[in-house]
Every structure is written in C-alpha cells, then in structure tokens.
Chains A and B, each alone.
Chain A
C-alpha cells in the first residue's frame, strides 16, 4: 500500500476492501497467514469485535461518571489483536496504556483494566501470571523495562534453545509520540548492543494527543530502529493479518537469538486521546472519514465473507459474547469500591520501614479518635472533605 499520508513500503496482506494481496516479496509473511486455520481467523475477528465493544462500554461508563477517565483504542484493533495473536504463552508484554486488545488476547480480565480508570487500583492484574506488565503512563519508560527483561531472558538461557515451548521474547508497545522520548532511544541502543530478544512494536496512530506524527519525525518512525542497527519493518496496522505476520516473524527471530526488531504499525486513533480530549480542535472530519474506510474489522469481515468463512451463527455468537462482556463490565465497574483507607500505607516498601509505619499509626489513631468522638465537628469535617 502506498499513500501520501502513510508513506512507502507498508507490509499489507489485506486491502482495505478485504482482498488478499498477492505479492511474491511478501512470501514469508504470506506463508504465516496461509498457515492460519479459519478458526484462528475467526478468533481474530471476534477479538477485534470484543475489543471495540470494550471501548464503547468503557467510554459510556466514563460519560455516566462511573470512570474518571478512559483511553480508547478505537481503530487500533488490527495492530493490537494481530500482534497479540503472535505471542507465545512464555512471552512477556510491556504495554503503554491503550493496549486493551492485547491484554484481552493475553487473558487479562478487562475489568481489571478499568480499576485504573475507576481509581481503585493500578490495574490489579498479576504481571507474572498474565505475562503482561502493568500499564505505564509515563511515555516510553516501559521500553527500557522490556529491554532489561529481554536481556534477563537471554541470561536465563531462554533464547535460542530451539525448543518452541521454552524460547521466549518480549514485546514493548508504545506510540508515535514515544519515539521522541530519550528512554525509547536508549532502549533501542541497549537492545541493539545486547542482541536483546525484544520486539519494539510502535503503533503509529497519527496523533500524540494533538500533535501529528510530523511533529515527532521527518522520516518514517521505523528509521529510528535502522539508525541503531535494528532491523525494521513498516506494516499496515489496520490489517490484522499483516500485523500478525510481521510480529510473528519478529518474535521468532528474537526467540531464536536473532535480536531485536522495530515494527512500525501504521494505524489511526479513531477516537479521542482520552475521554478528556476533543479531537475536533486539531483534526478534520475528512481525515477521520478517510481512515474510517480503512477499518480493520470491516476489512477482515469482508475477507472472511468472501471466502465463505464467516457464518451467520458465528457472528451471532460474537454479538452475544460482546453483549455479555458489556453487561459484565457495567455491573463490575459499578460494584468496584475504594479500597480501605489504611491501604494507602500498604506495599510502599517490601520490608519494614519505620517512617511509613509511624505515619500509618498516626493515621489509624486519628481516624479512630474521630470515630470515637462522634462529634458534630468531626462529622462536618468528614463531610466537607468528601
């Protein structure tokens, strides 16, 4: 695909109209997709639909005042679901804060994602059990954690053994804005000189809040990798099959000891940066409309329909599952309550810290005194700070 606002040399296996691209240069990627069973293709379709429903429900919950904030991934389902399907159970993911689709494929309960936006926890899922680190809100920081983790995998002899159930790699997810951060560039350097088994998966969704990608770079973002000697590939991020194939290829290289890869998945943030944002202040309806015609779900829908692999009963099942997810999210979010006040002091340190312990004692004593007093003054104070 070539497009003036996208740039050259995008790996694409499905056209926006849903036709399979036949190009001998795409041989390795094409073979990976050709090897996928229809059930897997349908699973990708279902995962994209569920990810989109999650966005819709969470955005609605924010509008109803049930969430303080939400960061939708609308439009990026192809890049997220495709890349996530390339992961092996033993791989590790370091997300930014918008990778809801990736998390769902990894088996993270999306309700736990909403603990962050509800303000009752920081994500709550267990990074070790799920193979997904907590969301990182400071832009680009997680790229270094991913690289260090990958260096650890190599030290632990979990790379290049030839055993597909053992060899592991890491995917660092980040956005176009993050490519300007020092940490991201340092991560590329550390990964390159250490041959770290890490895939840098950059979702270039066109916008870093209000700043277009042209504010971050004069060259394709993938060139950041090339500059430090990391192989790079640009992929149509709204093509779930190409996103899968490119990531699978990069992960296999990493797991086998071939080192890092930089993937630039060109996609588009159809929604706002977060529910606090207003894209109408910085971009046009026309631009959004162009990208709406490249929708990743419509694309796979068209392809699967054309090959007779999207039966009505499957679509009905997906719809029912999405409805059930929506109901579970609405009920689950409303049931989330603030943790006990004293938990402010939990887990600040892994070992005893007299300073935190002293403040906890004072805090507990002050609350107990208020409760015991039951005075109108205490009640009024309590009410005024609510």
Chain B
C-alpha cells in the first residue's frame, strides 16, 4: 500500500478548489498525465469509472492508507452494500475493517462515536436516505456537538454515507433528500459529489477530516461515468468539502445545483445554448459550509440565479442561497433568486416522481422567468 501514501505535493494544493472554481473546469486528463503510477493494481492516471466505483476506490484508498479507518453498516460486507459501493472491500481488508452491523441505525452511529473516541475513523453507511432518521438523534445531538461541548478536547472524525435522491423508481423512504436537516445542525459538514472525480476525492477528504461529515451520494447517478484521477494521494485537499465549482461558464443566468441536479442543470444549459442563451452552472459540492462567495461571484456576472435541488424548496438550500445572494449582491440582481425543486409534499409514488423532480424543462422555465422579470 505504500505507494498510495507517497507524498506528492499537488501543484495547486489547498488552493486547488479555488483555482478550479476560477477557471471553470478541471482538466482531469491533463492532471492525470502528471501523476506517477498508482498502487496495488489500481490503474494509473485518468480512468473512466462510475460514481459508485469511484467511491468504492476512494474508500479502498482510505482503508489502505489509514489502519484506523473502519467501514460500518448493514449488508456492506459480504454483500458489498445494496448498491455494491463497498463491493470487494471486506474480502480485501477483512471483516474487522468492513463490518456488517446489527440493523440499528442509531446503534451504528452511537457506537461509531465511541469508536471515534478511541481514535478510529468510522465510515458509516446508512442504507437509504429515509432510514437515517433512527440515527438522527445520535447525529444531531451527540456527533455534531461533541467537539463543541468538550471545548475541542474530543473530535469525532466520523463519516456518515447516505445514498440519497430519487429517480430510481423506488418504494417509500428510498428517494428522499434530507440534506438541509443536517446542514441546519452546527457541527456537521454536509457534502455531496456530482461526478465520479469528486466522489473519489471527496470521500477521502471526508474521511481525513477531523469533523463529522454527512456524505450524501446521489444514488440516481451511481452508474454514470466520468474521468477519475486515481493517482491522487489519500487525503489530498481538492476543496470539495468547502468550495463550490463553476462547471460551465455562461453569461445570462447562474444555475446553482448539487449532487443529482448538476447533471440536470448541465443538460438545461445545453438546451438553453441551442436557444441562444448562455447559462453558467455552479456545482455547490458542499451544503455546509455553503460557498456563498462562489455563487455571489457568478451572480454578479450574470445578474440572475436559479437554484435547483430535489429536496423540497420550502426552507431548503435554495431558500438559504436566495437570502444570502440577496444580501451579498442585491444591486447586481436583475431578477429575484428562483428555486426549482421538490414540493411541500411527501416524496410521491414512483410513477409520479418525474412530476416532482426538477427536470430540464422546469429549470428552463425558471430561467425564462428570471430573464423575463
């Protein structure tokens, strides 16, 4: 495993996130070309992977680099997880490192807290978004506050992985987007990758973070592919835990998205381009902390802002962005900040979810309204 941990100072270092935000894209292939060989049969340089496999390899890199890293969850061992995100990891690292737990979410998080107090770095899988609530008390009351109430004497580097979002035709409680419930809780970092490249680096940064991180995985995008730089040493900061990124440059309006809706926003930008409109797309990557500066920078240039997420718009991330953008660049706004997202209803039955989820059409309608305002 040693070559995985060989120090290779990245050209951009901590500033990497800011740099990519400024130039608008990550030249993954170019960066990969500069990398040395990767470890243990992992392919060198840039590789095309699904988002699920990218997380799998990120977890594998963390397990290999740090003996204190543990994976805990239901069905993650022998089965490899219901989405196979942990596929093969128990076989490679053993049942002591990749642990099948009792079916008790509060128990998973509560014992992870105790293990973290012993110096471990537990990475807990919650099987589906709607199943996190039995653990909500341990996450918000205990995990989030321990560093604060011990005045920094104890930190809890626990990662809670949650497959979230809809669009997969699932039954109840399998398609929800509860990210703001966690973002509203001080002490938690809440992040979500949209691409395999970010998934690979962000999961490793989340594990290396001294803070508890709620890591939302866009399950509807698990099987989408992208280029991933596998040569990146474990824990190399990419900025993904606290920096948004401009993923497409544009001039007429800013579309802010994260997780599963980044893809939707990019498709909307393609469609808008065909109509002669230029949309800028910002991938937030982190909900907490929210990179207000990156969004405000964009909105100052475009004058319009549409926020897109699957979670209900009421009291959501979009509402928070609207408040912050109104405050940060009121005189640059040509129109109110608009939101496209889920409704103030429970997640609907699968046969109607396409009516509930943000679509390219709904994003373009909002853009039209912003431009016509």
Q: Is B truly associated with A? A: yes
Residues of A bordering B, CB below 8 Å: 121-124, 126-128, 133-134, 136, 138, 141, 143-153, 155-156, 182-183, 186-187, 189-190, 193, 346-356, 358
Cα-based distance from A49 to B149 in the complex (angstroms): 30
Cα-based distance from A143 to B113 in the complex (angstroms): 11
Q: What is the minimal beta-carbon distance from B237 to any residue of chain A, in angstroms? A: 11
Can you report 26 residue pairs joining A to B where beta carbons are below 8 Å apart? A122-B149, A122-B150, A124-B151, A126-B153, A127-B153, A128-B154, A138-B137, A144-B111, A148-B112, A148-B114, A148-B115, A149-B115, A152-B115, A152-B117, A155-B96, A155-B115, A183-B138, A186-B102, A189-B104, A190-B101, A347-B151, A349-B147, A350-B147, A350-B152, A351-B210, A355-B290
Interface flag for B25 (CB, 8 Å): no
Cα-based distance from A224 to B117 in the complex (angstroms): 27
A-chain residues with CB within 8 Å of residue B113 when the two chains form the complex: 144-145, 148
Interface flag for B309 (CB, 8 Å): no
Query: Is B211 in contact with A350, judged by CB distance below 8 angstroms?
Result: yes
Interface flag for B13 (CB, 8 Å): no
Query: Is A149 in contact with B118, judged by CB distance below 8 angstroms?
Result: yes
A-chain residues with CB within 8 Å of residue B187 when the two chains form the complex: 348-349
Q: What is the minimal beta-carbon distance from B207 to any residue of chain A, in angstroms? A: 13
Which residue in A124, A186, A355 is a CB contact (below 8 Å) of B106?
A: A186
Query: Is B289 in contact with A355, judged by CB distance below 8 angstroms?
Result: yes
A-chain residues with CB within 8 Å of residue B210 when the two chains form the complex: 350-351
Which residue in A136, A182, A351 is a CB contact (below 8 Å) of B134?
A: A182
Query: Is A347 in contact with B147, judged by CB distance below 8 angstroms?
Result: yes
Query: Is B289 in contact with A141, judged by CB distance below 8 angstroms?
Result: no
Cα-based distance from A351 to B149 in the complex (angstroms): 15
B-chain residues with CB within 8 Å of residue A153 when the two chains form the complex: 118
Contact with A along B65-78 (1 / 0, CB 8 A): 00000000000000
Which residue in B142, B152, B186 is a CB contact (below 8 Å) of A138?
A: B142
Known: A128-B154, A189-B102. 10 other contacts (CB 8 A): A127-B154, A133-B117, A138-B137, A143-B110, A148-B111, A148-B115, A347-B147, A349-B189, A353-B288, A356-B186
A-chain residues with CB within 8 Å of residue B157 when the two chains form the complex: 350
Interface flag for B155 (CB, 8 Å): yes
Total B residues in contact with A, Cβ cutoff 8 Å: 45
Cα-based distance from A187 to B104 in the complex (angstroms): 10
Q: What is the minimal beta-carbon distance from A159 to any residue of chain B, in angstroms? A: 12
Query: Is A141 in contact with B137, judged by CB distance below 8 angstroms?
Result: yes
Interface flag for B107 (CB, 8 Å): yes
Interface flag for B148 (CB, 8 Å): yes
Interface SS of chain A: helix, strand, loop or mixed? helix
Q: What is the minimal beta-carbon distance from B214 to any residue of chain A, in angstroms? A: 13
B-chain residues with CB within 8 Å of residue A146 when the two chains form the complex: 114
B-chain residues with CB within 8 Å of residue A136 when the two chains form the complex: 142
B-chain residues with CB within 8 Å of residue A121 when the two chains form the complex: 151
Cα-based distance from A339 to B148 in the complex (angstroms): 14
Contact with A along B192-214 (1 / 0, CB 8 A): 00000000000000000111000
Q: Given A147-B111, A350-B210: A134 and B102 within 8 A (CB)?
A: no
Query: Is B107 in contact with A186, judged by CB distance below 8 angstroms?
Result: yes
Query: Is B147 in contact with A186, judged by CB distance below 8 angstroms?
Result: no
A-chain residues with CB within 8 Å of residue B251 when the two chains form the complex: none
Listed from nearest, the 10 A-B pairs whose CB atoms lie closest are A148-B114, A144-B110, A152-B118, A148-B111, A186-B107, A350-B210, A149-B114, A122-B149, A350-B155, A347-B152
Cα-based distance from A350 to B121 in the complex (angstroms): 14
A-chain residues with CB within 8 Å of residue B148 when the two chains form the complex: 346-348
B-chain residues with CB within 8 Å of residue A147 when the two chains form the complex: 110-111, 114
Query: Is A141 in contact with B110, judged by CB distance below 8 angstroms?
Result: yes
Q: What is the minimal beta-carbon distance from A129 to any residue of chain B, in angstroms? A: 9
Which residue in B112, B134, B141, B291 is a CB contact (below 8 Å) of A141?
A: B141
Of the candidates A148, A189, A193, A356, the one having the most CB atoms from chain B within 10 angstroms of its own CB is: A148
Query: Is A148 in contact with B110, judged by CB distance below 8 angstroms?
Result: yes
Q: What is the minimal beta-carbon distance from A181 to any residue of chain B, in angstroms? A: 10
Which residue in A126, A133, A144 is a CB contact (below 8 Å) of B138?
A: A144
A-chain residues with CB within 8 Å of residue B137 when the two chains form the complex: 138, 141, 183
A-chain residues with CB within 8 Å of residue B149 when the two chains form the complex: 122-123, 134
Cα-based distance from A351 to B242 in the complex (angstroms): 11
A-chain residues with CB within 8 Å of residue B151 when the two chains form the complex: 121-122, 124, 346-347
Q: What is the minimal beta-carbon distance from A382 to any residue of chain B, in angstroms? A: 25
Of the candidates A128, A145, A153, A155, the one having the most CB atoms from chain B within 10 angstroms of its own CB is: A145
Q: Which of B306-321 contact A (CB under 8 A)?
A: none
Q: What is the minimal beta-carbon distance from A267 to any residue of chain B, in angstroms? A: 26
Query: Is B153 in contact with A355, judged by CB distance below 8 angstroms?
Result: no
Interface flag for B131 (CB, 8 Å): no
Which residue in A152, A353, A355 is a CB contact (below 8 Å) of B114?
A: A152
